[in-house]
Structure 1
Amino acid sequence: MLACPYQRSTLGVIGILVFYYLYWNLYVFSSDSKLREDLSSLQQSYIYIKPSWGYNNSWRQIGSKANHLIYSAYFDDRLDVLETINDHNTKVPIGSLRIIAILPREFKEAITCTVRFEDFVDKSIAIGKVQSLKEHHDYKYAAYSFMCPLYVNRNSTAIHLPQSVAISYPSNRLSQLSPTFMPISYPRDVDQLFAMSRPVVSVCVGPLQQNYSDVLRVAEFVEMYRILGARHFYFYHLSASEEVMRLLRHYQSEGIVDVLQWNVPAELLTQVHFAGIMAQINDCVYRAMVVDNYRYAATVDLDEILIPLKHNSLSIFLRQCDEGRTSAYVFRNVFFYNLDSNDSFSLPAHTHNRFLYSQMKVRRTLEVMPTHQRSKCIVNTQSIIEMGNHFVWRNVPGYTETTVPLSVGLLFHYRDQCINCKAPLMVDYTARRFGSLIWDRVDETCGQVFNESGLCPK
């Protein structure tokens, strides 16, 4: 049956409108991409004079408001994170400052950034209202990650980069009268500014808290990820035993671990999700990208191992599979439970540290959890704007996340308490293929750190 003339006419008009809409958006996108490409070339033509700075961040109170805190600020040279480019005929962007903070979840005020240069000249940048990171779990306070754009005169040649930044807002008068300035973090090596990221796998570990004391688990975690190709680790210390800190100081002396102060005030711990973990995750991804110029960051907890099933390491997996436009590789979750019985069949007779969870727990849940439910990621740091606990919330345009096929990789989650104790389990010996290395590496490390006994306390 032929369509009625009205239907044909309506569809024709809609088709024309859709065509022009798509054409206009394609034109705008192409023009904007060309503009950003031209500005990027101009951005890299300047001579940059970098201030002195330090990396030892800590939570600092903003003005007079208790539990209004700022932790860090990073110089981000990516122009494609800027939503709009303003006044590019006279002023051009050279990047932005990414600020990590904790504020009330219902915070509605307009924020002003004040950047300070090494000669104590200040410059104010109004950025308006900001949104909290989404995974706040309805707590009173939430993590924030927001951006202050940096512009310079188009005809500049040498540019002095700012040394520190503060934020202020109307209800906090002291934040305006006596700003809390946070040092801005830059690349360790000035030559890495605007350089291509290094294909290094780093690991971001959730905050150590509640006087964390399982030294053996920390040693196994670090050594397993080193076997899997990771080269650097970021630990955030709220509270841990002296034995754990002794082990981390050993790794620091080897240059493979950074231990960062995570001094969330005690009264805030019950009013923000998991000691501010969303701020920690985002801080770590930006730290890996800006300070160390690492391309990859795995965001995991101490009981989680990202296991490649078809490759000998995560670094080999990324080298062979990353085509450059993936924001995150999402590994789906399976559980191993501490309450399950141990399997000591493969335990070497000469081993001193005789419980490694990756080698003793061999039964996992049969069900693989869906993507984004307790999944964890390896991210391309250059693609991230806002990172979540289990997936990416916002990435740079042109990047997309990829779920790792079940035959290629899984997240092995070794939980102390089971989620569903009656869930069917299956035997999985995959992690034992690393047994010939992990037993010896843990024994060697524990022997070096605790040479009196050779044992890492558990």
Structure 2
Amino acid sequence: MITNTARGARRSAAILTSAGEMMLMTFTHLTNTRLKKCLLLALLVPCAVYVISMQGPGLVGRYEPWTAIALPRPKGHLHKFFWRARDQELYIYSAIANPHYPISREVNIVFTVMDQARSSSLDCCILLDNRTVFVTPARKYFYYRSINFPVVGDVDEYLHPDDYLARQYTCAIPETGHRIHHATLTSSYCSSDPRDYVPVHYPERVPGGLAICGKVAYGGELDPEKLIEWFEVQKLLGVDKVLIYNLNNPEKVLKVFRHYQKTGFLDLQPYELPGRPYNRTMNDKGMYQFHHDESLAVLECRQRMGGYTYVMSHDLDEFIIPRADIGLKPFFQEKMQQYQDSAGFYFYAEFFVYGWGPTNPEEDMMLTRYRRATKPHWECTKYVILPSRVVSITTHSIFPISHYSTYKIGPKEAVLHHYRDCPHVWKSCKPDDSIVDNIMTRFKLLYPRVLGVRSELGLDVTWSDKKQG
């Protein structure tokens, strides 16, 4: 504490000294007293504001002695992958260090939580060693809202008091050169029980790297054969890492996941649905709670993959495909040269609907069997971001840091391919005004790679005209 305070004091003193010298030099040439007073005020106010801003909210806090003492566990359902705050109905999924935002020159910890308590006052408790805890106010980082309009969103949340909201809080800690290992949130006091503290994750730095946020995979909805094709296409497109959140997937899907985990291509994070009702699932997509259960992983992924230069967010039945025969990295680099203030790019979508039947039933892969699609249009759009320029993301939206913008990529340059059943919101699912898109046939190495993984995993696929989903 003394070191950081002294450092801030020296910095402030230097600024004030320079300002004083400037004023003294100026005043020696002025004779008008009123003008001197105005000039003095004009110089002092900006200096004071600057000095205060240089201290930053990261230095607001206090150090307290801490001793590890095990406490009785809170009553209620125990979870494997979330930490329940001791004094309220708030479940912490992760605490991730962000070195750039929201406060530069300090260590920012972003907590991703499921929050039913919705406390207006939270503190961060940061364990620095086995004897000291740093306590500092937590601030809102990002709140997911199913209705993203001021006031209306607040009313919507008020009408759902029993639901758990996907939220992120942040706090800043003075940079000391040492990594912070554990932290938690509280509305009262810092717990003495080490089990109440969440490990702090430091994202891997991969300059020039490209990652995918694959969202939550759950409940056996995935087809292993299609999943293999999805992974292999992403590798051919130049993706470096895929992050997926695993929720109760069956062994046939986990078998595929383990294969790509072993190669280092897949980061598979365990996931669950904390709070009440216990043992709920994600099968009822009409529930208010579903959107928060799904979106928490999207919010968390932006932080966990924050060390990559580019991060895409889309489902395991979607692909961002450049029209030119190039990889995604050179394509994104080209777009960044064109739009240098960009925080990310959105893409128009083509829907390849299984219910329309295969255009090429003789093919052995889903991606080359189904080539009939809608024309590119603006529906269920997805995107790529530059994490260093983005506050947060939701399933279909980018929230850039101020001074950065987002842009739409025209369908003549790249398109999102979406392979699925007919969306229930469509009035009609007839293939009127559809197109045939053969672009996936350009991946000549895809089929041999898919066959190799199938063979290794013991999957013998026999396609038929009736196999659609």
Deviations 1:18-65 (A, max 9, x none): xxxxxx9xx98xx97xx88x99xxxxxxxxxxxxxxxxx922222254
Say whether residues 1:392 and 2:398 are aligned partners. yes
Contact 2:82 2:92 in 1 (8 A): yes
C-alpha distance in 1, partners of 2:433/2:450?
28
Q: CA deviation at 1:346?
A: 6.7
Matches of 2:221 and 2:140, distance apart in 1 = 37
Decide which of 424, 446, 453 is 1:445's aligned counterpart.
453
2:449 corresponds to which letter in structure 1?
A: R
Question: Could you tell me how far apart the structure 2 residues matched to 1:108 and 1:401 are?
Answer: 33
Between the aligned partners of 2:98 and 2:142, the Cα distance in structure 1 is 19
Residue 235 of structure 1 aligns with which residue?
A: 244
Aligned pair count? 369
| Structure 1 counterpart SS, 2:359 | coil
What secondary structure, in the 3-state scheme, does the structure 2 residue paired with 1:285 have?
Answer: helix
Structure-2 change in CA distance of 1:330 and 1:126 (3 Å): same
CA distance in 2, matches of 1:128, 1:204: 25
Provide the rounded CA distance (Å) in 1 between the counterparts of 2:341 and 2:131: 41
Partner of 1:74: 96
Distance 2:343 2:118 in 1: 29
Partner SS state of residue 344, structure 1: coil
Structure 1 CA distance, aligned partners of 2:181 and 2:387?
Answer: 23
Alpha-carbon spacing, 1:257–1:73, altered in 2? closer, same or farther (3 Å): same
CA distance in 2, matches of 1:166, 1:142: 18
d(CA) in 1 for partners of 2:128, 2:147: 34
Indicate the residue corresponding to 2:432 in structure 1.
424
Q: Does 1:219 align with 2:231?
A: no
Work out whether 1:245 is the aligned partner of 2:254.
Answer: yes
Aligned to 1:401: 406
Contact 1:215 1:247 in 2 (8 A): yes
Q: TM-score, normalised by structure 2?
A: 0.71
SS at match of 2:106: strand
SS of the residue 1:331 aligns to: strand
Conservation of the 8 A alpha-carbon contact between 1:327 and 1:384: yes
Pair 1:381-2:387 in alignment: yes
State the AA in 2 paired with 1:167.
L
What is the alpha-carbon distance in structure 2 between the residues aligned to residue 268 and residue 454 of structure 1?
33
- Corresponding residue number in structure 2 for 1:186: 202
In the alignment, the residues of structure 2 paired with residue 120 and residue 317 of structure 1 have an alpha-carbon distance, to the nearest angstrom, of 51
- 2:349 paired residue number: 333
Is 1:164 the counterpart of 2:182? The answer is: yes
Match of 1:149 in 2: 172
| Residue aligned with 1:374, SS | strand
Unaligned runs of 5+ in 1: 1-23, 40-56, 86-92, 153-157, 348-353
Paired residues of 1:210 and 1:239 also in contact (CA < 8 A):
yes
1:100-119 equivalences in 2 (<5 Å): 100-104=112-116, 107-119=118-130
Deviation at 1:183, TM superposition (A): 0.6
Residues 1:276 and 2:285 aligned together:
no
Identical residues among aligned pairs (%): 17
SS at match of 1:207: strand
1:14 matched residue in structure 2: none
Summarize the Cα distance change of 1:295–1:425 in structure 2 as closer, same or farther, 3 Å threshold. Answer: same
Can you give the 5+ residue segments of structure 2 that lack an aligned partner in the other structure?
A: 1-41, 57-79, 149-155, 282-286
CA distance in 1, matches of 2:95, 2:215: 19
Structure 2 residue aligned with 1:95: 107
Q: What are the equivalent positions in structure 2 for 1:290-301 lying under 5 Å apart? A: 293-301=307-315
User: What do the CA deviations read for 1:272-311 (whole angstroms, capped 9, x no partner)?
Assistant: 234622221121121112xxx3111110111111111134
Q: In structure 1, which of residues 260, 267, 275 is the aligned counterpart of residue 269 of structure 2?
A: 260
2:376/2:415 contact within 8 Å kept: no
**Any conservation in 2 of the 1:165–1:182 contact (CA below 8 Å)?**
yes
Residues 108 and 130 in structure 1, CA contact (< 8 A), matched pair in contact too: no
Does residue 308 in structure 1 map to residue 313 in structure 2? no
Distance 1:62 1:231, change over 3 A: same
TM superposition shift of 1:204 = 1.0
CA radius of gyration, larger in: 2
* Residue identity matched to 1:118: D
Task: Give SS of 1:159's match.
Answer: coil
- Is the CA contact (8 Å cut-off) linking 2:295 and 2:394 kept in structure 1? yes
Q: Residue type of the partner of 1:70? A: I
